[in-house]
Chain A
Amino acid sequence: MRDVLSLYSEKVMEHFKNPRNVGEIENPDGIGHVGNPVCGDIMELYIKVKDEVIVDAKFKTFGCGAAIATSSMVTELVKGKTVEGALKISNHAVAEALGGLPPIKMHCSLLAEEALKSAIEDYLTKSKKGKARRHKENAKCKIQ
């Protein structure tokens, strides 16, 4: 039983209160599905790609405040990026864009990074432009 007030930065809370790009994309070009119910967070990321540029991204997330805020932020960060450029977005970049995360919540940003990579790989596989390299879901609940 924990109190979570003031755990997060203003920016995290802002994205938590008003998450951007919630939902699904019809006929997406790539879907990333990562997480594990045992650990308490599951993230789905949908991307729409046009001419190798991510033109839209949406998410659905079951998880804590940090999981929701990082999902929201990652969708903001990828829009307008090339597929190659989006692959370079790290969990630290997501956390940084949110004004930082408590150390204990850094794993949530990793989930966002994994969801993004998984969605891009799904896109690359579908478009046969890359080799299928399935991302493994977190089987264990681990703080990264």
Chain B
Amino acid sequence: MRRIYLDYAATTPTHPEVVKAMLPYFTDVFGNPSSIYSYGQEAKGAIEEARSKVADLIGAQSEELVFTSGGTEADNFAIKGVAYTNEHKGNHIITTPIEHHAGMETCKSLERRGVRVTYLPVDEHGLVDPDNVRRAITDKTILISVMHANNEMGTIEPIAEIGKIAREARIYFHTDAVQTVGHIPVDVNELGVDLLSMSAHKLYGPKGVGALYVRGGTKLLPFMHGGEQERRRRASTENVPGIVGFGRAIELAKQEMDEEAERLTYLRDQLIKGLLERIDHIRLNGHLTKRLLNNVNVSVDFVEGESMLLNLDLEGICASTGSACSSSSLEPSYVLLALGLSPELAHGSLRFTLGRENTSKDIDYVLEVLPKIVAKLRAMSPLLKSRR
């Protein structure tokens, strides 16, 4: 059976070139980068080379990058770091109800410690209104954290506009750019951010490595205490192969970005158009144009997401859903609910995220298979009857 992977926002396969670049650092160049002999210094050199590649892609200086274990750690580091470092200045954070769990749960943990958090509203497409950011600022506000693009429904937020507001108000501004770095142009100066989270495995790099951009001059308590790695900001012996892989993945992403963007946008639009044409009572979630170029998120009336996913899987297609049928809460995606979707529609959501391996044939296959699945599930849906 053919297998079609359409869940690139969850993770990507590590590019073979990336694996090749990493391999020597498991064996030949295994030295600890903190050691002064040549093995160690060679590893250190490789880290610094990777750092400069990552910094270069986002318009940052090398010394402004801290390597982390991934996007989640970068979000924790940024948000807790600013909150703890600026306790004496204020205790108010502005964020959104559509942040990734990494940002959302970090803010909630701070709330339990007495930090006040404002969750800005988003419109039906998931967009934050910069004016609402301006209005939410108080003299106690120490951080604004708004994700660059949403991992679930793909909406790209007006980060540059919010950045201007943050700068005028002299408030630290963090963005989670895990879904955008390596896929669309990201420049920390154009965006006006002080802190920016990244992850390697979303851009064909290895899992377990990411980075936080920290604008020069930003005061941030260390995230991990111990040795002097990462300019004392994040102790722990560096994940040398991972960091090298991250650097190589960034390099490849930069080379291929324009071409891949055009190709994926075309495929994405082909999929959206096809789904809306072939399935009735279906809606696109997220913004039509201010949208990640590989993201398709739809809600299908009268059917539940997991049962669609299982059927797609039986046909060899990997996708994901905002239905929480296998989570412990059972409540559907808070992101989709924040857009004003009914629980039924949030449970009936499907996300396809495209990537390097996908072709037009894959899209055609989904368009052939999914309408049949929906028809089969609708035939057994009690919701359909009650709406007739």
Instruction: Write the residues of chain A forming the contact surface with B, with a CB cutoff of 8 angstroms.
Output: 1-5, 7-8, 13, 16-17, 19, 22-24, 33, 37-44, 59-68, 102, 104-105, 107, 141-143
With a 10 A CB-CB cut-off, give which of A23, A62, A104 has the most chain B CB atoms: A62
Give residues 125-165 of B contacting A (CB, 8 Å). Answer: 151-152
Q: Is B56 an interface residue (CB 8 A)?
A: no
A66 to B309, CA, bound (A): 13
Task: Give the number of residues in B that approach A within 8 Å (Cβ atoms).
Answer: 40
What A residues does B325 contact at CB under 8 A?
A: 40-41, 63-64, 66-67, 105
How far does the Cβ of B340 sit from chain A's closest Cβ, in whole Å? 15
- The answer on a CB contact under 8 Å between B321 and A60 is no
With a 10 A CB-CB cut-off, give which of B326, B332, B351, B383 has the most chain A CB atoms: B326
A sample of 17 cross-chain residue pairs with beta-carbon separation below 8 angstroms, ordered by A number, consists of A1-B10, A1-B351, A2-B324, A3-B320, A17-B314, A37-B342, A37-B347, A38-B343, A40-B343, A59-B380, A60-B385, A62-B383, A64-B325, A65-B306, A102-B326, A141-B329, A141-B331
What B residues does A105 contact at CB under 8 A?
A: 325-326
Which of B306, B307, B331 contacts A39, CB < 8 Å?
B331
Which of B310, B331, B379, B382 contacts A42, CB < 8 Å?
B382
- The answer on a CB contact under 8 Å between B343 and A16 is no
Q: Is B85 an interface residue (CB 8 A)?
A: no
A127 to B7, CA, bound (A): 52
- The answer on a CB contact under 8 Å between A42 and B321 is no
What A residues does B321 contact at CB under 8 A?
A: 1-2
How far does the Cβ of B39 sit from chain A's closest Cβ, in whole Å? 40
Residue on A with the closest CB to B313? A5
Instruction: Write the residues of chain B forming the contact surface with A, with a CB cutoff of 8 angstroms.
Output: 7, 9-10, 151-152, 302-307, 309-310, 313-314, 318, 320-332, 342-344, 347, 351, 379-383, 385
Q: State the 7 A-B residue pairs at the shortest beta-carbon distance, nearest first.
A: A141-B330, A64-B325, A64-B306, A1-B320, A60-B382, A40-B347, A44-B382
Which of A38, A63, A107 contacts B307, CB < 8 Å?
A63
Which of B302, B310, B314 contacts A62, CB < 8 Å?
B302
A91 to B137, CA, bound (A): 52
- The answer on a CB contact under 8 Å between B351 and A64 is no
What A residues does B303 contact at CB under 8 A?
A: 62
What B residues does A38 contact at CB under 8 A?
A: 331-332, 343
Question: With contacts defined as CB atoms under 8 Å apart, how many contacts are there between chain A and chain B in the complex?
Answer: 113
A24 to B154, CA, bound (A): 39
- The answer on a CB contact under 8 Å between B380 and A37 is no
- The answer on a CB contact under 8 Å between A142 and B330 is yes
Residue on B with the closest CB to A63? B304
Q: Contacts A3-B320, A60-B380: A37 and B326 contacting too (C-beta < 8 A)?
A: no
A37 to B322, CA, bound (A): 14
A39 to B351, CA, bound (A): 19
- The answer on a CB contact under 8 Å between B302 and A40 is no
- The answer on a CB contact under 8 Å between B344 and A64 is no
16 extra interchain contacts, Cβ-Cβ under 8 A, other than A23-B380, A107-B330? A1-B7, A2-B321, A3-B7, A3-B318, A4-B306, A13-B310, A33-B382, A37-B342, A37-B344, A40-B324, A43-B382, A44-B382, A62-B382, A62-B383, A105-B325, A143-B328
A60 to B323, CA, bound (A): 19
- The answer on a CB contact under 8 Å between B307 and A68 is yes
Q: Contacts A37-B344, A37-B347, A62-B383: A2 and B327 contacting too (C-beta < 8 A)?
A: yes
Q: Contacts A62-B302, A65-B306, A143-B328: A1 and B152 contacting too (C-beta < 8 A)?
A: yes
- The answer on a CB contact under 8 Å between B343 and A37 is yes
- The answer on a CB contact under 8 Å between B380 and A22 is yes
With a 10 A CB-CB cut-off, give which of B310, B313, B332 has the most chain A CB atoms: B310
Q: Contacts A1-B152, A4-B309, A5-B313: A42 and B330 contacting too (C-beta < 8 A)?
A: no
Residue on A with the closest CB to B337? A38
A37 to B305, CA, bound (A): 12
With a 10 A CB-CB cut-off, give which of A13, A37, A64 has the most chain B CB atoms: A64
A64 to B330, CA, bound (A): 11
Residue on B with the closest CB to A72? B380
How far does the Cβ of B165 sit from chain A's closest Cβ, in whole Å? 31
How far does the Cβ of A7 sit from chain B's closest Cβ, in whole Å? 7
Q: Contacts A41-B304, A63-B325, A65-B310: A143 and B383 contacting too (C-beta < 8 A)?
A: no
Residue on B with the closest CB to A33? B382
Which of A2, A7, A62, A67 contacts B320, CB < 8 Å?
A2
- The answer on a CB contact under 8 Å between A65 and B347 is no
What B residues does A65 contact at CB under 8 A?
A: 306-307, 310
- The answer on a CB contact under 8 Å between B324 and A4 is no
Residue on B with the closest CB to A17? B314
What B residues does A68 contact at CB under 8 A?
A: 307, 380
What B residues does A62 contact at CB under 8 A?
A: 302-304, 344, 381-383
